[in-house]
Structures are given as structure tokens and as C-alpha cells.
Amino acid sequence: MKLHGKPGPRPRRRASSLVTAGVAAAVALVIAGCSSSGSSGSSSGSSTSTAPITIGISVSLSGDFSGDGLATKQGYETWAAFQNAHGGILGRQVKLTFLSDGSSPTQVITNYQKLITVNHVDFVMGPYSTLLTKPASSIANRYGYVMLEGIGGGPSVFSQGLHNVFDVSASAAYQLITFAKWLVATQQPEPIAYASMTDPFLQPELDGARSYLTAHGFKSVVYKLYPLETTDFTPIASAIAASKAPVVVLGTMPPDGYAFVQDLIQDKFSPKVLIEASGPDQGSAFIKAVGASNTGGIMVPNTWYPGSTYYQNTQMVQLYLKMFGGTANNISADVAEAFSAGQVLTQAIDHIKSTSNSALESYLHSGATFSSVQGPVKFQADGENGAATPFVFQWQKGTLQDVLPIGVGTTKPIVTVKPAWGANG
């Protein structure tokens, strides 16, 4: 002790501080390591872990998207149940964590931040709608997470320049393209009335069809946009009725889709062709809202239908009915769109054998083709599904039938002239 002199207080504190700092650094490294392997978007993942693979999703269980939000949640739940019944992913069970966003773009940001930084989920998947997917994908990108989604295909999602967002469904601008091509191929140019909600998915959907049809000589005689909060559609329906346009194309959500049918019936105006972006795809809810005898001939674009023979569709339908009841025709397309996102995630993880988000992102950009209940999926550079083939469905005698594109799947002959209201055609 004397050789080294009396250890003064300062050197002892310094030594003590160094030890403490060393221990703290070691602890921090261990914690960081644990945290990284468990949750970080840039983690390398572990194929040997037996812990469940956790997936966080924000869903709209209240607010304007509550109907679709619930269907979206059911779609994810069906996929997770299906996957878990088949051994999970990489031998690990799938565990979903849902947070409700109230259809709010602000809340969806908070939810994904919480899922990533508090819940430390392994992956995140998309919410309902373009409106919510855009901010959600931006947050996921900030934390290095991939966002696979099936219900956010508006142009604004893909124009962000992000490389982490992948839409397994057909994007907005192409949703009505099959219908537009059929119209051009089978009918002489006729006046068309358009109306749409000012929604980042619906309006591009309508505009995509309008551009194509206008270029092929179909004149636009009514073009009305309305805000999300609109509850009285009578003036727009009156304008459409007054135009007597034989073709009516509406960019609707379910509530306004129902209301437009009701208002057009009240106006005693039955167009020859009527297609709505959303609403007629809601199965029994649509029938109850507009009356079964008024559904005949109404068309709706979609990327899925219950009788499709695409990959695992039969199993999905059976499992959904077992879990949630109802009938196959009443299953919302949102269910299949959410399920598809899960299918692609499964195939990609099985291929990369890792829960690393960066490896997943690279693989999804590799040009690989995946299978889904909606058909093939192959991502373009911006995340759109370049292999998607949108269908067109039509209500015929109380059943929603797949009618376009002709020759794909089990299409039924299309009713070219919509039966009059009440005719149940």
C-alpha cells in the first residue's frame, strides 16, 4: 500500500467510476442486444427461437372506416389462425397485436410508434385505407420496418419514395381498369356520370378509369367530388339523374355507396351501367341497406371473391366461416386483402429464414413472385403489385358474381344492361 502511496479519494472515485461505467456499458450492451434480437427493424433475427413471431397492426375499429377496419382485423386473425394451425412461421407461432386508430391518421402514427418502440413487435402490417397506410408506412420506414399491406394502394402511398412499403393488392389507378376496358371493347362511346369521395384511394381509382374512358371517346357529363363528412347525397344523385347518363361510375365508401343507390331509386333513374368502388362488395350489409330486389346489375371492382381458386382461398374461406360465421358471399374483400399480406409475409420469411426486416425488404424487392388468395404478387420498385389482375363483380339474382375479366377464374356472363330497380335481375 505504501509503495503506491495512500490512495487518495480522487483516484479511488475515478477507479470506482471506471468500474461502474464498464459494468453499465456491459449491461447496456446486453440489454441492447436483447432488444435488438427481439424487436429492432434492423435485427438479423433468429431462426432457432421458439418465441412467437409478433406482428403489430393498427386497425380502425371506430370512426369512418370501422366497418372495413373490423373486416381487416378479421382477415389478419384468419391468416394468423391458419398459419398457426400449419406450424406457424419458421416453426414459431404467430402472435398479432392490434391497436385501434379510430380511423385517424394521427392516431395511426402513435399506434405504430407504440407497436415498434414499446411492444417491440417483430413485424408490422398495414392498416385499412390509403389515408392511414401513408403515415403508417412512413413511421415503419423510420424504424427500419417493412410494411406489407393489402388495403392501401393509393398513389400517395407509392409516391413517397419509400422502399419499405409493399401492396399485395391492385393499386388504385388500376382498380377500375378492367371495367373500363370491357366498356370500351363492348359499347359505343356514351356519356358517363362520375362522382367520388375526395379520398386518396377512391379519387385516383375514379380518375384512372375516367382518363382511360375519355381517351376512348366516352364523354364525362357529370364529375362531382364530395368530402368524407358528407351525409346528404341527394343533390349529387339529382345531378346524375338529371344528366340521364347511361353509365354511372361512383368512387364510394360503403355508406355513400348505399345512399347513392337509395337516392337514385328515389329519383327514379336507373342507369344502364352502374359501378361503385365500394359498398356492393359488403355482402348482406349491402342487401339490407338497398333491398335485395335493387341489387341486380350493380358492379363493383375487387381483387378477390369467395369462389376463387387462387392459392389457399378455399381454406381461408372455410376457416373464416368457422371463426366468424356468416356465409361465404358475405365475406368482405378486406378479409382477403389482409390475408394476402400475411401469405406473402409467410412465404418471404420462409425463404429468407430470418425475422430481419432488412433481409425481408431486400427479398421483396428481388422480383420474386408470391402466391395469394388474390392471385400472383410481384412487386414493382415502388411497392405496387405489378402482377395484380383486378376483377369486376356484379350482383345477379341476389349473388355477387365474378364477371370480368372474361376467362380468368370462374367468370359468369355479364349482364350488360342493369335491370330496373326492384327487378332483382
> Least Å distance between CB 103 and other proteins?
8
Selection from 76, 72, 77, 176 nearest residue 128 by Cα: 72
For 326, phi and psi rounded to 5 degrees?
85, -165
Residues that bind other proteins (CB under 8 A): 61-64, 66-67, 69-70, 103, 198, 224-227, 229-232, 234-236, 238-239, 241-242, 254-255, 258-259, 262-263, 265-268, 282, 285, 288-291, 294, 421
> Least Å distance between CB 132 and other proteins?
15
If the CB atoms of residues 265 and 387 are measured against other proteins, the closer one turns out to be: 265
> Least Å distance between CB 102 and other proteins?
8
Distance from C-alpha of 94 to C-alpha of 76, rounded to nearest angstrom: 11
Cβ–Cβ < 8 Å for 356, 345: no
If the CB atoms of residues 269 and 393 are measured against other proteins, the closer one turns out to be: 269
Selection from 318, 306, 277, 313 nearest residue 170 by Cα: 277
Selection from 377, 311, 315 nearest residue 344 by Cα: 377
Say which residue the cell 398479432 belongs to: 96
> Least Å distance between CB 129 and other proteins?
14
Q: How many residues does the chain have?
A: 425
Q: Which amino acid is at 97?
A: T
For 168-312, where are the E strands, in sequence order? 192-197, 220-226, 247-251, 273-276, 299-302
If the CB atoms of residues 263 and 382 are measured against other proteins, the closer one turns out to be: 263
> Least Å distance between CB 161 and other proteins?
28
> Least Å distance between CB 233 and other proteins?
8
> Least Å distance between CB 113 and other proteins?
24
Selection from 109, 79, 160, 31 nearest residue 334 by Cα: 79
If the CB atoms of residues 238 and 416 are measured against other proteins, the closer one turns out to be: 238
If the CB atoms of residues 109 and 228 are measured against other proteins, the closer one turns out to be: 228
User: Is the link from the previous residue into 405 a cis peptide, with omega within 30 of 0?
Assistant: yes
If the CB atoms of residues 279 and 375 are measured against other proteins, the closer one turns out to be: 279
Distance from C-alpha of 386 to C-alpha of 170, rounded to nearest angstrom: 8
If the CB atoms of residues 65 and 123 are measured against other proteins, the closer one turns out to be: 65
